Amino acid sequence: MSGKTISENFSGNTRGRPGKYTPQGKVLLSQLYPGYGWRHVQNCIYGAHPWKLLRTTNHEKYKWLVGDEDGRGARKTILSELGRLFDITHDEEDLLAIAGWLCDERPKTHDAIWMIRAVRRDFKQAVME
């Protein structure tokens, strides 16, 4: 190589689905979790509603998912996937039913995520039809 660097000019067209949050919204939400990446911030935001709902509904029944009184031991990855499902369905009864099943069966995190994503995919397909 001759030591020259090649710079690429991107047109600004982004690939994939459009973002849910505006750039200003991303900045504001990222300030809640300084020092963390955007994906972590999204996971925290999505996991917050299921965590709060399950803690206030019946903490002992959902303790496997929400952890102790301080949130230690919470299954944060599963909670964020439940939050993504709730973001589509907006049905707390479905969320409670799935969370109850998860607490009864106690699957590995990978298996729980796979199941929640399958439910979310099926729901999206049913809505589009």
Question: What's the token pair of residue 129?
Answer: 């039809």
Question: Among 35, 124, 39, which Cα is nearest to 76's?
Answer: 39
Q: Which two tokens stand for residue 69?
A: 């009184």
Residues 118-123: contacts with CB under 8 Å, at least 24 apart: 119/85, 120/81, 120/84, 120/85, 120/88, 123/85, 123/88, 123/89
- For residue 67, the SS3 value is coil
Per-residue model confidence (pLDDT) at position 71: 81
How many domains does the chain fold into?
A: 1
Give pLDDT, residue 81: 97
Residue 35 lies in a domain: no
Residue 24 resides in a domain: no
The answer to the question of residue 105 being in a domain is yes
Tell me the C-alpha distance between 55 and 63, whole Å. 8
- Token look-up 């990855």 returns 77
* pTM given for the model: 0.81
pLDDT tens digit at each of 129 positions of the chain: 455 555 555 455 667 878 888 989 999 999 999 999 999 999 999 999 999 999 998 878 999 999 988 889 999 999 999 999 999 999 999 999 999 999 999 999 999 999 999 999 998 888 777
Identify whether 22 is part of a domain. Answer: no
Assigned domain for 51 exists: yes
Task: Compute the C-alpha angle 43/126/83, nearest 5°.
Answer: 15
| 109: containing domain | 47-128
For position 114, what pLDDT does the model report? 97
In this structure, is residue 83 part of a structural domain? yes
